[in-house]
Amino acid sequence: MKFKRLWPLFLVLLLLSGCGIVQPNTAKKAAAPYRQDPSQGIFTAKVSGKQVARLVHKELPHAQLLQISLTKHGRFYQYHVQARQHQRYYHLAVNAMQPIITKKTHTKLTKQNAERATLNLNGLKSLTTIKQIAISEINDGHIVGYTLARQRQITYYELLIHSRAHHTVRMRIDAKRGNILERQQVDE
Kindly provide the residue ranges of all beta strands, DSSP E only, lying in 98-166, ordered along the sequence. 101-108, 141-151, 154-163
Beta strand pairing call for 154-163 and 167-174: antiparallel
Residue with the larger pLDDT of the pair 117 and 138? 117
Taking Cα atoms as reference points, which of 91, 93, 94 lies closest to residue 105?
91
What pLDDT does residue 42 have? Answer: 59
Band (pLDDT 50/70/90 cuts) for residue 30 is very low
What pLDDT does residue 5 have? Answer: 53
The pTM assigned to this predicted structure is: 0.72
162, 141 in Cβ contact below 8 A? Answer: yes
Fold type of domain 121-188: Nuclear Transport Factor 2; Chain: A, (3.10.450)
Domains 37-119 and 121-188 share a fold: yes
CA 7, CA 2: separation in Å to the nearest integer?
A: 9
Fold type of domain 37-119: Nuclear Transport Factor 2; Chain: A, (3.10.450)
CA 114, CA 89: separation in Å to the nearest integer?
A: 8
What pLDDT does residue 41 have? Answer: 52
Q: How high is the mean pLDDT of the chain?
A: 78
**Residue 154 burial (CB count, 10 A):** 16
What pLDDT does residue 152 have? Answer: 86
For residues 117-140, give the mean pLDDT: 86
What pLDDT does residue 26 have? Answer: 39
Express each pLDDT in 100-116 by its tens digit. Answer: 999 999 999 999 999 99
Task: Domain ranges for the chain, please list them.
Answer: 37-119, 121-188
